[in-house]
């Protein structure tokens, strides 16, 4: 007789590569214990049996890039270019954030991702004027029950904007807190600490060297805004006499721990370097469009075999943490840009949103696909919903015809954290009440 904590019974598994098979899943100690044929003559004793007849089990979606503190800033600074948007939305408000604000902002944003089937999040926290603010975001992710890498930001170049300069630190100060944060999450199995490299023009040569050396020593994931707009390459030409990616290669920064975020303004040399050095890329279509940054050449990167993950970006630029929204936009944007309906097929996008994203976060050994021994991070897709019905192929329906109503249940580490529109670990009404009470302190006028 087989023993299990949870028996997912009677549904169909949808794998990260789009394969669909009628299989049951046994979960024990938070891990996928066994995938088996439903008609196999084996006795199973499970603490909980979840009957999923007519439903689909999918790997949890991975949000490879966001700024959860920005959940407070939805709709602010809209219809502005990136630099003007920063001045109108982020810079005046980030210094106001307390640890408690960051807790509830992270909680609200992460809940949005979970409702859309997300189980893992790479956060990018650079609003660190108050040194304990990041702890609020970490605690929120832990309380909600998601898997996460908290990227600790580094900004060490001063600009003319005094609000920006309030976030400036020395590289040594960043390293000191990285060490403390790694100790803080040492007993939190679902959480890891990474480095968030801010924007190219806000990091000095010493800053880049510090990130490189720390990542080499401690094998942590590094995320870096890269070629999001022409400003990155113009700054690199001014300071170093070469474009951004050639500069990064010249200092030994293009390493396996790096995920380059956005990659909108790439030329052939940039793409050659990304391919050669096996750099992973986080594709954030919503913010690229809202900020007018452009359409990144993701189909070309995909054809070159580059590992791509999907991200929502922060809610200040994307207004959403909905992974299903990001998935659909990611697919149709590349089809239109390439005038090719075969670009970014549904199965390609599912792979990016699951295993590709897990590689970007450095957690592919734990999640992103259905394999015995991996953590049981998954969601249940119910095809009997207005938006998606009728469902002929669940992969196509997920990418092109779904919303959060199709996400019936979400498990992380074999624990149900969301079911039938309710969260199991947090009270969503309390979160919404806090947001309503606090939002007045942030700017509400577009500038």
Closest CA to 126 of 166, 87, 161, 89: 166
Token pair 């590094």: residue? 222
User: What pLDDT, in 10s, does the model give residues 52-89?
Assistant: 999 999 999 999 999 999 999 998 888 888 778 888 88
CA distances from 217 to 155, 183, 209, 356 (A): 21, 16, 12, 24
Residue 447 confidence (pLDDT) above 80: no
d(CA 318, CA 322): 10
Separation of CA 376 from chain center: 18
Residue 266 confidence (pLDDT) above 60: yes
Q: How far apart are the first and last CA of the chain?
A: 66
Residue 446 confidence (pLDDT) above 50: no
User: What pLDDT, in 10s, does the model give residues 414-441?
Assistant: 999 999 999 999 999 999 999 999 988 8
Domains and CATH numbers, the chain: 2-59+365-421 (2.30.40.10), 74-357 (3.20.20.140)
DSSP conformation letters of 374-412: SB--EEEE-S-STTTPSPS-HHHHHHHS--GGGEEEEEE
Higher pLDDT, 86 or 249: 249
What's the average model confidence in pLDDT over 322-334? 98
Token pair 């986080």: residue? 282
User: What pLDDT, in 10s, does the model give residues 360-415?
Assistant: 999 999 999 999 999 999 999 999 999 999 999 999 999 999 999 999 999 999 99
Q: What is the pTM of this model?
A: 0.96
Report the share of the chain in percent with pLDDT over 90. 87
What's the average model confidence in pLDDT over 145-169? 93
Closest CA to 138 of 126, 153, 149: 149
d(CA 72, CA 57): 32
Position 164 scores a pLDDT of 85
What's the average model confidence in pLDDT over 3-29? 97
């Amino acid at each position: 007789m087989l023993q299990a904590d949870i028996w997912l019974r009677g549904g169909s598994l949808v794998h990260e590569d789009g394969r669909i098979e009628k299989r049951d899943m046994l979960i024990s100690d938070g891990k996928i214990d066994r995938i088996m044929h439903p008609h196999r003559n084996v006795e199973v004793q499970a603490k909980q049996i979840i009957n999923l007849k007519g439903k689909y089990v999918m790997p949890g979606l991975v949000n490879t890039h966001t700024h959860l503190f920005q959940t407070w800033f939805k709709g602010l600074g809209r219809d502005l270019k990136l630099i003007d948007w920063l001045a109108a939305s982020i810079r005046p408000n980030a210094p106001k954030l307390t640890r408690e604000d960051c807790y509830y902002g992270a909680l609200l944003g992460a809940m949005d991702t979970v409702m859309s089937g997300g189980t893992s999040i790479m956060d990018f926290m650079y609003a660190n004027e108050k040194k304990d603010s990041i702890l609020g975001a970490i605690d929120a992710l832990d309380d909600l029950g998601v898997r996460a890498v908290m990227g600790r930001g580094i900004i060490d170049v001063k600009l003319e904007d005094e609000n920006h300069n309030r976030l400036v630190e020395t590289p040594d100060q960043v390293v000191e807190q990285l060490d403390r944060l790694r100790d803080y999450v040492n007993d939190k199995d679902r959480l890891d600490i990474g480095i968030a490299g801010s924007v190219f023009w806000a990091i000095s040569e010493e800053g880049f060297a510090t990130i490189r050396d720390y990542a080499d020593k401690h094998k942590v994931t590094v995320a870096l805004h890269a070629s999001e707009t022409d400003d990155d390459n113009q700054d690199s030409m001014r300071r170093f006499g070469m474009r951004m990616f050639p500069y990064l290669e010249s200092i030994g920064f293009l390493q396996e721990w790096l995920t380059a975020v956005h990659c909108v303004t790439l030329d052939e040399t940039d793409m050659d370097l990304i391919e050669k050095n096996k750099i992973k890329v986080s594709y954030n279509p919503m913010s690229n469009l809202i900020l007018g940054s452009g359409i990144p050449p993701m189909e070309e990167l995909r054809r070159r075999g580059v590992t791509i993950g999907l991200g929502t970006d922060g809610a200040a630029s994307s207004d959403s943490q909905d992974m299903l929204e990001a998935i659909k936009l990611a697919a149709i944007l590349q089809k239109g840009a390439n005038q090719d309906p075969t670009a970014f097929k549904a199965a390609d996008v599912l792979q990016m949103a699951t295993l590709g994203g897990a590689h970007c976060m450095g957690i592919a050994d734990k999640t992103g696909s259905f394999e015995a021994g991996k953590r049981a991070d998954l969601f249940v897709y119910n095809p009997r919903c207005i938006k998606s019905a009728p469902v002929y192929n669940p992969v196509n329906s997920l990418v092109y015809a779904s919303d959060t109503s199709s996400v019936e249940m979400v498990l992380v580490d074999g624990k149900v954290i969301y079911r039938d529109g309710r969260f199991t670990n947090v009270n969503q009404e309390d979160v919404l009440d806090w947001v309503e009470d606090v939002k007045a302190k942030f700017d509400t006028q577009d500038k």
